[in-house]
Chain A
Amino acid sequence: MAIEVRIPTILRTYTNGEKAVEGKGNTLAALFADLETRHAGIEARIVDNGQLRRFVNVYLNDEDVRFVKGIDTELTDGDTVTILPAVAGGSAAAKPRPAGVAVGRRAGMR
């Protein structure tokens, strides 16, 4: 059973630079285990403790698999799975800048 898997730039070190690879499996968990046999190290970047990593998005065709069955989502021949790391962050752990201390460059300056 062939599933096309779209690989994000950050994980292409595991696929020899390929943007898409083929894999097989009846579920996402099986698919990622299958990928691991040819692209050692990739599974741990997607799966942690048997679950999808919080900041890695996996889509089955057009749907975020979190809204299906997560890592147990079933796959069918001809499906496309897309992996995209979340684009996320935020100031949560940033240090406040002390008043009166100017840092950095302002917009419009060279």
Chain B
Amino acid sequence: MLTITQALVDQIVAHARKDHPDEACGVVAGPAGSDRPERFVPMLNAAMSPTFYEFDSGDLLKLYREMDDRDEEPVVIYHSHTATEAHPSRTDISYANEPGAHYVLVSTADTDGLGDFQFRSFRIVDGEVTEEEVTVVEAY
């Protein structure tokens, strides 16, 4: 289960909407071993594409060094799908390399007439995708 604050959910969704129609991506870092997302880090989508995202390689190195220095890990890795549902694609699964992370997907496609987006969370371990509950709280 992913437990996350409303403020972080709002920041992720706002980022996804801002970058639409391109995919938005980023992480929410948290203390190592805590499973608690705390620090919102929006990343640049170096691919600048509506169907693909990739962290810029220089930014990626900076991010991991910073997390290392602060004893953090990427608790949440998020990205948006802009025309399809918020479910990991085959591409997402093959490049998922953080078995400890919650992979959050936001869809900015409004295909069901019910609203503008979906917010879902998955574990992706060895190519296996498992959806998990998302509990949104005011504070931890």
Contact = CB atoms under 8 A, between A and B. Distances in A.
Interface residues of A, number: 37
Nearest to B135: A110
B33 interface: no
A104 B119 CA distance: 8
A106 B60 contact: no
Interface string B57-81: 1101100100000000100010101
Contact of A106 (B23, B25, B111, B115): B115
Contacts, number: 153
Nearest to A91: B81
Contacts of A104: 85-87, 118, 120, 131
Interface of B: 6, 9, 13, 23, 25, 27, 43, 47, 49-55, 57-58, 60-61, 64, 73, 77, 79, 81-93, 95-100, 106-107, 109, 111-115, 117-120, 131, 133-136
